[in-house]
Amino acid sequence: MHGNGGDAVVAALKALGVDTVFSIASVHNLPMLDAIERDGSIKIIDCRHEQNATHAADGYSRATGKLGVSITSTGPGAANAAGGLFEARFASSRVLMLTGQVESKFYGQGRAFLHEADEQMAYLQSMTRQAWSVRRTADLLDDVIAAGRTAMSGRPAPTAVEIPIDFQYAEFDFDEPASVEIRRTSADAAEIAKAAELLRAAKRPVLWAGGGVNHAGAAAELQAFAEQLQIPVVTSQAGRGSIPEDHDLCVGALVNEKPVIGLLKEADVVLAIGTHFHMVNLNGWTIPLGTQLIHVDVDPENFDRNYRTAVRVNADALDAIEALTAAVTSTDADPDWLATAQKARDEAQAGVRDLMGEKWVAIMESIRRHLPAAGPVVRDATVPAYVWGNRLLPILTSRTSMMPVSNAIGPGLPLAIGATIGAGERAVCIHGDGGIMLSIGDLPVLAQYNLPLTVIVFNDRGYGILRKIQGATFDGPLHDVDLATPDFAKLAEACGIDSAKVSTPEEFDKAFAASVSSDGPMVIEVDMSDLGELKYGGKQRLLSDR
């Protein structure tokens, strides 16, 4: 093939199975964007901030299992993407960031070239699994493919490539690459045999499903395995949706509730698949995980990092589940154990509902009643998300549950943009008035692409989470947590987006049902003043949640 560097980038992206990229145009990436437009097989989503473009690529990847790609400028543009790369690394997401670089003949000379960033590689390497700096036009295509393959291999992680602008314009001959195949990490037979032996003898087994199950596309296999053994399933936040949360075997992500803590303490064998045991999920790692722990993970560095394991299975979640399904057809579980787990689930759910109050329960039930089962549910780090969105709002389908795994505020809206485009379904984004201001600039993207996304802004005029933490931790009046907020409904209308302002469950239900029945976006601003306080369970959880 003959073309310029932009054409080589397109060839590499097509070999990696990319069909969508999220970008902000710049003088240092125009050849790539031009080549994508000329080719016509990859869609460009024009974002408004590089951090949001990278978050959107992350959300797209989580919703589809594909490689999410952002394209930024060099220098300030690449630096703006830091938060997006940080979250993608924390969430183990398949994200590739392509950024420009100054002309190769000026690179490293410190001559104040436009957008010059001589130390950009050090930054990119600190935020990613690996970063590449293209040094020859002949290496461009192979470097992009290597970065994409690395992002998708093993435990997913973001990668980055910087490409000097003269290499993007340069014309040269290159071979059309073959489609890239990603090999799964297969389980060792001896490790599977040890795990199977423990499971068969277990009296009180529990299955813990982490985000690795969803990343591996192994939700159906996990559900079948759980049904085969009739074993209760607890999930991490990232593992939600790996089994429908209305399934009899699903205990869900209620790990911090006392009844479920008791269940895990009583378990004699916990089989944890695809998890690195996030601090927040396990209340600072104070929650016990059974007498014996079987840990399955594609990343061997996760073993014994937070919990001591009896058996370690280094494998991709799908491969391990398939091997275990063949090796273990039943357990010696106590006949009342499943009922014990279901009772713990029901008590935990009832406890959270009591904290919520009837009005909040009605809002949560409205979302689940109207939203399609395949519609993504994206929660930012905000009080409603922590109290009920992350725990009780039922998730029914794999890859439809998302939140900032780093617990940052702000990624919700751009994550939801990417997830909506990836899923092709009506999606909902649960946001707070404080958090959404960090990404509000991308609100016009919803109108530009007429995305079927309902953004719910729960407005308590400040950082509700921090108010609670500050009040529970320090003496004296609250400070730095109250905010002047815009009229979000009018702001949405100014962007060409339908909107509604509500303050009761009845008003919310009407507005949300209307949004779901429409083809385009809607912003619903919820005044929290008359809905009642959303309470947490204690000081320790407050500190852990932040």
Buried-exposed string 512-539: b where 16+ CB fall within 10 A, e elsewhere: beebbeeebbbbbbbbbeebeebebeee
**Helix 120-127 and helix 82-90, axial crossing angle in degrees, nearest 10:** 30
Any domain includes 408: yes
**Alpha-carbon distance values, 522 to 315, 375, 420, 525 (Å):** 42, 15, 13, 10
503 and 367 in a single domain? The answer is yes
Q: Report how far residue 61's alpha carbon sits from residue 545's, in angstroms, rounded to the nearest whole number.
A: 25
- The span from the CA of 95 to the CA of 286, in Å, is 32
Q: Are residues 395 and 301 in the same domain?
A: no
- Residue 349: what residue type? Q
**Is residue 499 a contact partner of residue 489, using CB atoms and an 8 Å limit?**
yes
Based on its alpha-carbon atoms, the radius of gyration of the chain, rounded to whole angstroms, reads 24
- Residue 226, both tokens: 């759980």
Sign of torsion, CA 338 339 344 345?
positive
Whether residue 457 sits in one domain with residue 315: no
- 309 and 264 inside one domain: yes
Q: Is the sign of the CA dihedral 252, 258, 263, 265 positive or negative?
A: positive
CATH number (domain holding residue 65): 3.40.50.970
Q: What is residue 540's predicted lDDT score, i.e. its pLDDT? A: 41
Of 289, 313, 343, which one is at a domain's C-terminal end?
Answer: 343
pLDDT tens, residue by residue, 101-160: 988 877 776 766 667 777 899 999 999 999 999 999 999 999 999 999 999 999 999 999
Query: Using an 8 Å Cβ cutoff, are 47 and 23 in contact?
Result: yes
Residue 348 domain-assigned (yes or no): no
Sites in the chain below the pLDDT cut of 70: 109, 111-114, 536-546
Cα separation, 210 vs 307, in Å, equals 15
293 and 365 both lie in a single domain: no
What CA dihedral angle connects 194, 196, 199 and 201, to 10 degrees? -80
Which value, to the nearest 10 degrees, does the dihedral of the CA atoms of residues 9, 11, 14, 20 take?
Answer: 40
State the CATH number of the domain containing residue 258: 3.40.50.1220
Is 455 found in the same domain as 418?
yes
Q: Would you tell me how many other CB atoms lie within 10 Å of the CB of residue 166?
A: 17
Query: Is 387:355 a contact under the CB 8 Å cutoff?
Result: yes
Q: 535 in the Ramachandran plot: left (φ > 0), alpha (ψ -120 to 50) or beta?
A: beta
**15 domain residue, yes or no:** yes
Domain that holds residue 278: 189-343
Find where tokens 């543009």 sit.
77
Residue 543: what pLDDT? 43
Residues 385 and 534 in one domain: yes
Could you tell me if residue 427 is inside a domain? Answer: yes
How confident is the model over 243-294, as pLDDT tens digits? 999 999 999 999 989 999 999 999 999 999 999 998 877 888 888 888 999 9
Cα-based angle 204, 205, 207 (whole degrees, multiple of 5): 150
DSSP line for 288-315: ---SEEEEEES-GGGTTSSS--SEEEES
Same-domain status, 336 and 278: yes
Identify whether 307 is part of a domain.
yes
Tally of domains within the chain: 3
Boundary of a domain, candidates 143, 173, 203: 173
Whether residue 457 is found in the same domain as residue 493:
yes
Nearest to 85 by CA among 129, 48, 43: 129
Return the pLDDT at 111: 67
Prediction pTM value? 0.95
Together in a domain, 339 and 387: no
453-459: strand order across its sheet: 401-402, 377-379, 427-432, 453-459, 522-527, 498-502
Determine the residue type at 538. G
Q: Are strands 130-133 and 159-164 parallel, antiparallel or unpaired?
A: parallel
Helix (H, G, I), strand (E, B) or coil at 235: strand
* Residue 482: DSSP 8-state: B
| Separation between Cα atoms, residue 453 and residue 45, nearest integer Å | 15
Domain boundary among 343, 373, 389: 343
**Nearest Cα to Cα of residue 51 among 79, 21, 27:** 79
Same domain? For 397 and 307 the reply is: no
* Residue 178 domain flag: no
The answer to the question of residue 183 being in a domain is no
Q: Across the strands, what pairs with 326? A: none
Residue 179 lies in a domain: no
Q: Are residues 302 and 261 in the same domain?
A: yes
Helix, strand, or coil here: 21? strand
Report yes or no: 259 and 344 within 8 Å, Cβ to Cβ: yes
DSSP structural state of residue 454: E
